[in-house]
């Protein structure tokens, strides 16, 4: 299938071949018939992409601060590489989609194959969309009209926040798509509406929908007009749907309003507010969030958990339904808002229209029908690339998962080994195609089962979200394939036990255990860092016990992030803390025999996650180590600091860049120009072990031991 992607580094918009997505739990698979280009949002993205790095930085000052903090801790070169890699990621465009249901995922009720639905799906021939972000289209509503549903829901949510009542006077500032739909919805509420804009054509449309208008291009005074419109009393509310950096719309809105008037921002405007404007009239101001309640809530959107109807009357989905009802009975008319139509094959011309500054409103993209492209063609889940197919290496790699870490760190490290890059699988296909083209894979797919069954793939790299690690590890081992799994290996004791059984069964059927069977490796890269290897060699000369202090300035992660979800991320101690348990286990070179841990105390009413923890480990040789894993520190402090005390000597390692030894003859410092956490060496050691037929670089028993200790830590802090 094809999908519209934009390169944020260059601003180039392309129509790319992408493998069709698979239907997921609580989702629908939809064949697109129409989609609507959101002129305001998508023009802004196109303009951002075409800007140079300096202009991009000016537009996102908060991101610049993050970059500067990263430079302080990680250095200039790694930071610039991270920025370039982030900008290099293709951005799927669009969020106003109409189509017919191809497949219904597990957990979905109320939808059937063949239903016509609207959704927030991308500009793509096939989309996989959450059930709570879909609504059935009434028979009387055309596909062209239904394409405006999501945009309409954005306008409707702003109106719900402003709370209009029959007979009130409301100003709509900015008469783009959202503004013109808002005019009609407010009129349907029984409100008197005043529309403000610079564009004569849009003002004429607003007048046709029953609004009075102010033409700013002819020097119209919006404040005076609003006062006259409200019979000198001040308007009841102002809905700002414009997109501008200026603070003037907010200032004008405050001047227009009556005492205790309401202002709601749906679009984009400067927010340097005058206290006097708001204080004297006791005005209320609110920013509207997209389509309504449920937006950005993963439980609602991804997991399909609806809000109780009696307590949350209007959700995203119910707002979609309300707009469709308005379209069905003719109270909302979007046909005059369609300024351009393009066949999907000419989609790039639509974006050229956005980029050249020409006036446009609703740009509708029309997709091929069943008579032009069969369902079989659309549902192809593998895209092959034109690069030369290689078979000249013993290691043939298939990667499952192509998120940020995989594409920025892990896959480039795999590429450096010279192994055959056979296949890369991703859920949506977009990141997989990007990684496949960039790093020389032979194909990209959305079918992980096909990758696992591929006889040409003998090495599987698992870099998905944590809740899928154990499943993919077991499936690969059962097929006799070598496995490199990003940490953690498993999220529960049950998953770990299943991996143990599968691993030992795989060796029982191999020709010459333990050499010759499938290797299993976890990405505990820190033990392969050059400074850690040097430290290991220093400690190997000391026969007495050692003491370790590992301080991790982990940084806060929002509550809604998937790593904070115990069922998906396994919480951060399991998901990331295992790195540092493994590092101390490696340096001590002795089994862990005791575990103690304490988490930060709970405060009533304050959410505290399991990411502020002190862990004490005891080792069989008498050594002990403390891991301080804290998410409540400052970003300017080094993220990881290791201190080792033994035999009257000390070593301090800061953030894998600077290492200083105190009291070690012949060893003072080992500083690096750039941070090296050992990722490249870790991957290389695994690939070399496969080539030479040697054992896994990390013994299987140690992988299991570290996983069990991380589970035990979580039990202790509970």
> 717 is written with which tokens?
């802090």
Closest CA to 450 of 410, 402, 377, 400: 400
Would you say residue 537 lies in a domain?
yes
Lowest mean pLDDT among 182-191, 242-251, 501-510, 662-671: 501-510
SS3 state at 260: strand
CATH of the domain at 187: 3.40.50.720
Give residue 562's pLDDT: 85
The tens digit of pLDDT for each residue in 281-322 reads 999 999 999 999 999 998 999 999 999 999 999 999 999 999
The answer to whether the beta carbons of residues 697 and 686 sit under 8 Å apart is: yes
Instruction: Tell me: do 314 and 458 sit in the same domain.
Output: no
Give residue 274's pLDDT: 85
Strands 284-287 and 547-553, bridge-based pairing: unpaired
Give residue 2's pLDDT: 95
User: Is pLDDT at 512 greater than 50 in this prediction?
Assistant: no
* Number of helical H runs and strand E runs in the chain: 26, 30
Strands 134-136 and 382-384, bridge-based pairing: unpaired
Instruction: Tell me: do 599 and 573 sit in the same domain.
Output: yes
Distance between CA atoms of 377 and 20, rounded to whole angstroms? 10
Q: How much of the chain, in percent, has pLDDT values that exceed 70?
A: 92
Mean of the pLDDT values across residues 473-479?
96
CATH of the domain at 100: 3.90.180.10
Mean of the pLDDT values across residues 686-711?
95
Give residue 606's pLDDT: 47
Q: Which residue in the block uniquely carries the two structure tokens 């191809």? A: 102
Max distance between CA atoms of the chain, in angstroms, equals 92
User: Is pLDDT at 197 greater than 70 in this prediction?
Assistant: yes
Distance between CA atoms of 344 and 353, rounded to whole angstroms? 14
Distance between CA atoms of 181 and 149, rounded to whole angstroms? 10
Would you say residue 371 lies in a domain?
no
**CA angle 432-433-437, nearest 5°?**
115
- Count of structural domains, the chain: 4
Would you say residue 50 lies in a domain?
yes
Distance between CA atoms of 329 and 325, rounded to whole angstroms? 6
Alpha carbon of 157 to those of 85, 182, 286, 409, 506: distances in Å? 35, 10, 12, 41, 56
User: Is pLDDT at 644 greater than 50 in this prediction?
Assistant: yes
Distance between CA atoms of 151 and 337, rounded to whole angstroms? 12
Instruction: Tell me: do 681 and 574 sit in the same domain.
Output: yes
Query: Can you give the length of the chain in residues?
Result: 718
SS3 state at 15: strand
SS3 state at 261: strand
Would you say residue 183 lies in a domain?
yes
Which pLDDT band holds residue 188 (cuts at 50, 70, 90)? very high
Domain boundary among 231, 254, 287: 287
The tens digit of pLDDT for each residue in 218-243 reads 888 999 999 999 999 999 999 999 98
Distance between CA atoms of 716 and 161, rounded to whole angstroms? 46
Distance between CA atoms of 426 and 688, rounded to whole angstroms? 26
DSSP string, 534-597: HHHHHHTT--S--EEEEEEE-----TTSGGG-TTTT-HHIIIIIHHHHHHHHHHHTS-EEEEEE
Q: How much of the chain, in percent, has pLDDT values that exceed 90?
A: 73
> 205 is written with which tokens?
């449309």
Instruction: Tell me: do 57 and 71 sit in the same domain.
Output: yes
The tens digit of pLDDT for each residue in 106-141 reads 999 999 999 999 999 999 999 999 999 999 999 999
Give residue 604's pLDDT: 56
Distance between CA atoms of 519 and 484, rounded to whole angstroms? 8
Highest mean pLDDT out of 269-278, 380-389, 448-457:
448-457
Instruction: Tell me: do 550 and 684 sit in the same domain.
Output: yes
Instruction: Tell me: do 127 and 186 sit in the same domain.
Output: no
Average pLDDT, the chain: 91
Instruction: Tell me: do 616 and 709 sit in the same domain.
Output: yes
- Name the phi and psi angles at 35, rounded to 5: -145, 155
> 3 is written with which tokens?
């999908």
- Name the phi and psi angles at 622, rounded to 5: 95, -10
CB pairs under 8 A, 24+ apart, for 107-115? 107/25, 107/26, 107/131, 107/304, 108/26, 108/27, 108/28, 108/304, 111/28, 111/136
User: Is pLDDT at 516 greater than 60 in this prediction?
Assistant: no
Instruction: Tell me: do 32 and 126 sit in the same domain.
Output: yes
Mean of the pLDDT values across residues 38-46?
77
Instruction: Tell me: do 320 and 183 sit in the same domain.
Output: no
> 694 is written with which tokens?
């040697």
Q: For 601-627, b where at least 16 C-beta lie within 10 A, e where not — what string? A: eeeeeeeebbbbbebebbbeeebbbbb
Closest CA to 38 of 120, 134, 143, 161: 120
Closest CA to 538 of 642, 682, 665: 665
The tens digit of pLDDT for each residue in 70-108 reads 666 666 666 776 776 776 788 899 999 999 999 999 999
Strands 212-215 and 192-197, bridge-based pairing: parallel
Instruction: Tell me: do 638 and 713 sit in the same domain.
Output: yes
Would you say residue 292 lies in a domain?
no
The tens digit of pLDDT for each residue in 345-368 reads 999 998 888 777 667 889 999 999
Angle between helices 61-74 and 76-88 (to 10 degrees): 140
Distance between CA atoms of 505 and 700, rounded to whole angstroms? 14
User: Is pLDDT at 607 greater than 50 in this prediction?
Assistant: no
Would you say residue 272 lies in a domain?
yes
User: Is pLDDT at 514 greater than 50 in this prediction?
Assistant: no
Would you say residue 611 lies in a domain?
yes
Instruction: Tell me: do 79 and 23 sit in the same domain.
Output: yes
- Name the phi and psi angles at 451, rounded to 5: -65, -45
CATH of the domain at 592: 3.30.360.10
Domain boundary among 494, 522, 550: 522
Instruction: Tell me: do 282 and 328 sit in the same domain.
Output: no
User: Is pLDDT at 142 greater than 70 in this prediction?
Assistant: yes
Domain boundary among 488, 522, 556: 522
Closest CA to 579 of 421, 432, 405: 405
Distance between CA atoms of 40 and 92, rounded to whole angstroms? 16
pTM attached to this predicted model: 0.88
> 200 is written with which tokens?
């004569």
Give residue 513's pLDDT: 41
Would you say residue 662 lies in a domain?
yes
Q: Which domain holds residue 411?
A: 383-522
Distance between CA atoms of 411 and 432, rounded to whole angstroms? 11
User: Is pLDDT at 511 greater than 50 in this prediction?
Assistant: no
Strand order in the sheet with 257-265: 212-215, 192-197, 169-173, 235-240, 257-265, 284-287
Give residue 603's pLDDT: 58
């Amino acid at each position: 299938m094809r999908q519209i992607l934009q390169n944020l580094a260059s601003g180039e918009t392309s129509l790319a071949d992408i493998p069709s997505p698979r239907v997921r739990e609580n989702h629908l698979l939809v064949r697109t018939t129409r989609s609507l280009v959101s002129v305001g949002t998508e023009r802004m993205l196109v303009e951002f992409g075409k800007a140079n790095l300096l202009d991009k930085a000016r537009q996102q000052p908060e991101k610049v601060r993050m970059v500067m903090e990263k430079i302080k801790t990680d250095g200039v070169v790694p930071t610039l590489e991270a920025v370039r890699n982030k900008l290099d990621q293709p951005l799927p465009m669009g969020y106003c989609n109409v189509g017919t249901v191809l497949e219904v995922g597990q957990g979905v009720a109320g939808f059937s194959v063949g239903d016509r639905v609207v959704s927030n799906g991308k500009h793509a021939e096939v989309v996989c969309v959450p059930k709570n972000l879909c609504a059935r289209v009434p028979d009387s509503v055309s596909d062209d009209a239904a394409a405006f549903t999501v945009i309409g829901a954005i306008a409707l949510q702003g109106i719900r926040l402003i709370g209009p009542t029959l007979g009130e006077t409301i100003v709509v500032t900015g008469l783009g798509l959202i503004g013109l739909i808002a005019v009609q919805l407010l009129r349907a509420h029984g409100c008197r509406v005043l529309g403000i804009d610079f564009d004569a054509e849009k003002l004429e449309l607003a007048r046709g929908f029953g609004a009075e208008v102010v033409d700013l291009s002819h020097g119209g005074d919006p404040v005076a007009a609003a006062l006259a419109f409200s019979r000198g009393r001040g308007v009841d509310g102002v809905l700002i749907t414009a997109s501008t950096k200026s603070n003037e719309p907010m200032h004008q809105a405050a001047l227009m309003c009556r005492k205790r008037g309401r202002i709601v921002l749906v679009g984009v405007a400067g927010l340097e507010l005058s206290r006097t404007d708001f204080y004297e009239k006791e005005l209320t101001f609110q920013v509207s969030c997209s389509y309504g309640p449920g937006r950005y809530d993963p439980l609602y959107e991804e997991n399909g958990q609806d809000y109780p109807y009696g307590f949350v009357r209007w959700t995203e989905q119910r707002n979609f339904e309300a707009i469709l009802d308005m379209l069905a009975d003719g109270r909302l008319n979007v046909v005059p808002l369609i300024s351009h139509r393009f066949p999907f094959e000419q989609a790039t011309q639509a974006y050229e229209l956005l980029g050249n500054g020409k006036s446009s409103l609703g740009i509708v993209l029309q997709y091929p029908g069943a008579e032009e492209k069969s369902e079989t063609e659309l549902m192809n889940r593998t895209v092959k690339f034109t690069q030369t197919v290689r078979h000249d290496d013993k290691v043939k790699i298939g990667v499952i998962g192509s998120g940020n870490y995989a594409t920025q760190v892990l896959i480039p490290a795999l590429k450096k080994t010279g192994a055959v890059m056979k296949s890369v699988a991703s859920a949506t296909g977009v990141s997989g195609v990007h990684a496949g083209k960039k790093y020389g894979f032979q194909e990209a797919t959305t079918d992980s089962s096909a990758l696992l069954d591929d006889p040409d793939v003998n090495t599987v790299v698992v870099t998905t979200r944590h809740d899928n690690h154990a499943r993919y590890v077991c499936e690969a081992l059962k097929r006799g394939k070598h496995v490199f799994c990003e940490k953690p290996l498993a999220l529960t004791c049950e998953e770990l036990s299943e991996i143990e059984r599968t691993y030992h069964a795989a060796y029982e059927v191999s020709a010459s255990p333990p050499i010759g069977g499938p290797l299993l490796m976890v990405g505990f890269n820190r033990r392969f860092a050059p400074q850690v290897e040097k430290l290991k060699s220093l400690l190997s000369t000391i026969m007495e016990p050692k003491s370790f202090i590992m301080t991790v300035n982990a940084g806060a992660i929002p509550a809604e992030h998937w790593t904070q979800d115990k069922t998906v991320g396994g919480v951060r101690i399991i998901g990331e803390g295992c790195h540092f348990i493994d590092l101390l286990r490696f340096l001590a070179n002795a089994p862990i025999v005791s575990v103690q841990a304490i988490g930060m105390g709970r405060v009533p009413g304050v959410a505290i996650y399991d990411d502020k923890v002190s862990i004490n480990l005891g080792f069989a040789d008498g050594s002990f180590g403390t891991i301080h894993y804290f998410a409540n520190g400052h970003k300017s402090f080094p993220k990881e600091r290791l201190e080792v005390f033994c035999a009257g000597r000390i070593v301090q390692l800061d953030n894998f860049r600077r290492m200083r030894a105190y009291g070690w003859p012949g060893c003072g410092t080992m500083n690096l120009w750039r941070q090296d956490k050992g990722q490249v060496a870790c991957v290389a050691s695994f690939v070399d072990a496969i080539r030479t037929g040697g054992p896994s670089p990390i013994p299987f028993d140690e992988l299991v031991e570290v996983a069990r200790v991380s589970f035990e830590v979580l039990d202790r802090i509970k």
